[in-house]
Amino acid sequence: MVAGSTPHQASRDVDLSSVTVFVGPNNSGKSRALQEIENWIRSSQPSKGLVVKAIEFDAWTKEAIEKELNALVVDPTLQESVQPDHVLISKLNPQNNSTVRTQIHKPILLQEAQNPNSNRTRYAMFLSLFTLKLDGTNRLALANPQKAGDLQKTAPNHIAHLFANNAARGRLRKTVYEAFEKYLVVDPTNIGELRFRLSARAPEDEAEEKGWDSRAQKFHSDATLLVDASDGVKAFVGMLSTIISGDPKVTLLDEPEAFLHPALSYKLGKEVASALATTNRRLFVSTHSASFLMGCVQSGAGVNIVRLTYDYETATARLLHSQTLAPLMRNPLLRSVGVLNALFYNAVVVTEGDADRAFYQEINERLLAKNDPRGITGCLFLNAQNKQTVWDIVKPLRELGIPAAGIVDIDVLKEGGAVWSKPLQGAFIPPLSHPGLQAERCALLKAFEATKKDMKREGGVALLSTQDQEACRNLFSQLAEYGVFVVDRGELESWLPALGAGASKSTWLLTIFEKMGDDPSEPGYVHPEQGDVWDFVGGIKAWVARSNRKGIPE
């Protein structure tokens, strides 16, 4: 990759597994990574990419490349003459289902395949025949009928392969039935052509599905052609059948979740990763779907996850091992708040509760609507259950390289022990700083207790003397440098006091939203101003925007 795990690290190498998934915010380079990988495969002289710096190919043995080549060799027609040292090959191009018939210089191909990282004029052309890129348009075409070809030779397409391979067809049929409660069958009754159908029942035997007699004709006429199904069904079956049974050695899949609801995206990811786990084929995926990614990870297969970011100045590429993500999906708290979605955002803000999340998210939306620089673009707001569990969410996200900020009320100062140590550890504040911060916390707590007032509900920092206020704000500033943001006014209900929403926790959120208005064109609508919660969110934006922000482990 061109970038490293952080903006200041050198570019990193990624050892590929069968499935490599690119995730990240919009405009982070996920789709471009696929384009650059395709360029490296298809071009004899690829240029350095903006995301993928270079690709190294494994060398073939002479016997292996000869076996692959011999499977494609055909006899010339009377009108064709084969040049010396050349062989005539014929191959269905998986990209457009057109047949490629060409001559290739065999000695040069054998030499380049055994040394694929030097010159590869013939090898690039050869690899192109086994490279398939699926995007939003051509993935639907995978459901279209295909030529049957010569069943005595290598199957020319994925449907022909399935027709000939009973085991692969049975596996795919089981998966499709689990998804749609229909049996996928291959219909050969249009002579010379194979087509997918969805049947209400499974074929009684192989002859009923693969034959041409009246029984087979009746069976297929009662089933529905796949091309007449919805785009989601066509996309799911087409992609899965190609990846499981097609012959591309490299498949590039851009946004597989298109046309699919989350449950199907999850199933597709799980089946794809499982199918490729023990093969030498490679799948590269660009996705915005946490469901697809979860399916890949929970398949148990080895999956590379590369999280890309780009803020128009600096880029990062962080390798996330599936073992690292697994705890995020096992933990009930993290799973319940959809923490895996954070991989697709620029930043995350975690609050103590759902009311806090809704309020701060609305404040941010109003800042963004006004193009206010204090607004945080591409930000996901998540809620914990209390101030302690905020850091149960923040910490694993930061370990994945995601700038996750935590917001807590001022009573975080009240308790030592785990309540205080959790934000320090979850924000990756250096351990040597912990004793000093603990001492400041204890001193400030005594100062608040001396006021005989509730620091959370009766004024926050303003309760202290001028010097003690300065000391408290200095402590909060130190914490903010590590993405720990303390409400210095006390608590959520202390924001926007001029609106008079009261302090009742049960009604405050509904009241404040009502007083803020919902129509920007109305006179009473509350637009961003200077100070108050608007600046508080602006402080979070400032931390997120720093390329050298503290609190993100390398």
- Per-residue pLDDT tens over the stretch 410-425: 999 998 888 899 999 9
User: In this prediction, what percent of the chain has a pLDDT beyond 90?
Assistant: 68
Name the DSSP letter for residue 251.
Answer: E
Residue 97: what pLDDT? 66
**Residue 459 DSSP class:** T
Do residues 344 and 32 touch, judged by C-beta distance below 8 A? no
Using the predicted structure, report yes or no on whether residue 1 has a pLDDT greater than 90.
Answer: no
For residues 1 and 53, what is the distance between their CA atoms, to the nearest angstrom?
5
What single DSSP character describes residue 11? P
Structure tokens at 129: 């025949």
221, 252 in Cβ contact below 8 A? no
Could you tell me if 14 and 305 are in contact, meaning their C-beta atoms sit under 8 angstroms apart?
no
Lowest mean pLDDT among 218-227, 314-323, 470-479, 527-536: 314-323
* Pair of tokens at residue 110: 């054998």
Q: Which amino acid is at 53?
A: K
The string of DSSP letters for 26-79 reads: TTSSHHHHHHHHHHHHH-SSPPPPSS-----PPPPPHHHHHHHHHTTB----TT
Is it the case that residue 23 has pLDDT exceeding 70? yes
What average pLDDT score do residues 390-414 get?
A: 94
Amino acid at 202: A
Q: Which CATH architecture has domain 1-52+123-130+248-330?
A: 3-Layer(aba) Sandwich (3.40)
Instruction: Check whether 94 has a pLDDT greater than 80.
Output: no
C-alpha span between 133 and 131 (Å, rounded): 7
Query: Whose structure tokens read 């006004």?
Result: 370
Sheet with 404-408: strands ordered across: 379-383, 347-351, 404-408, 484-486
Q: Is the pLDDT of residue 108 over 70?
A: yes
At 455-475, the pLDDT tens digits run: 999 999 999 999 999 999 999
Strands 347-351 and 404-408: parallel
Mean of pLDDT values over 442-458: 96
Residue 123 half-sphere exposure toward CB, CA atoms < 13 A: 24
CA distance 352 to 348: 13
Across 147-156, 273-282, 431-440, the highest mean pLDDT is recorded for 431-440
Task: Please provide the average confidence, as pLDDT, over all residues in the chain.
Answer: 91
Domains of the chain, by residue range, sit at 1-52+123-130+248-330, 62-115, 140-233, 332-545
pLDDT-based confidence at residue 139 (cuts at 50, 70, 90): confident
Give the pLDDT of residue 368. 98
Tokens standing for residue 89: 């090959």
For residue 513, which amino acid is it?
Answer: F
Q: How far apart are CA 402 and CA 247, in angstroms?
A: 37
pLDDT at 32 exceeding the cut of 90: yes
> What pLDDT sits at residue 100?
84
Percent of the chain with pLDDT over 70: 98
| pLDDT single digits (tens) 249-288 | 899 999 999 989 999 999 999 999 998 888 888 999 999 9
Q: Using one digit for the tens of pLDDT, what is the confidence trace for 323-348?
A: 777 777 778 878 777 888 999 999 99
How are beta strands 98-105 and 86-93 bridged, if at all?
A: antiparallel
Identify the DSSP state of 257.
Answer: T
Q: Is 383 exposed, middle or buried (CB count within 10 Å of its CB: 0-12, 13-18, 19+)? A: buried
CA distance 208 to 215: 6
* Helix (H/G/I), strand (E/B), else coil: 81: coil
pLDDT of residue 95: 67
Pairing of strands 193-199, 146-147: antiparallel
Q: Is residue 168 scored above 80 in pLDDT?
A: yes
What single-letter amino acid sits at 371? N
pLDDT confidence of 289, banded at 50, 70, 90?
A: very high
